[in-house]
Structure formats: structure tokens, C-alpha cells
Amino acid sequence: METALLILSIVLIALVLLQSNKASDAGQIITGGNAELFQAQKERGVELFISRLTFLVGAAFMIIAFLIMFTA
């Protein structure tokens, strides 16, 4: 069970790092250079798949963590 949690944590880290960066530069947020930052942007294709897969892997991570906590 702990091995599955370790593998899921590595996969979750990789998926989060693969997601696109919405704010290209923190300085642009303060100066107002990134006007489209807060507009509704739809994810499509690979971005949508990675986002949904991240959610599923995160949920599986939480479930396994709770199972380990309650069975130990």
C-alpha cells in the first residue's frame, strides 16, 4: 500500500509540473501587463487531459492515504 502511495506521489508531482503556467511572470500581474490572466480560458486537448488526470491521481492519493491512516 505504501508503494502505491509513493508511486502516486511521484506521478502527481510530474503531472503538476506538466501543467501550463497561466501567469507567465509575477511582475506582469502587479504592473497589469498580463491582461488576459483573469479571463476565462478553456482548456483543450492535452491540457484538459492532464488537468483531469491530475484530479484523478490526486483523489486516488488522498483515498490511499486515508486507507493507510485508518488501517494502521
Domain extent listing, the chain: 1-19+43-72
Question: Taking the model in full, what pTM does it have?
Answer: 0.73
Ranges of H-type helices in the chain: 2-18, 26-31, 46-71
CB distance 34 to 23 below 8 Å? yes
Note the pLDDT of residue 54.
95
Task: Please state, in angstroms and rounded to a whole number, the distance separating the CA atoms of residues 33 and 3.
Answer: 45
pLDDT above 80 (res 64): yes
Note the pLDDT of residue 35.
57
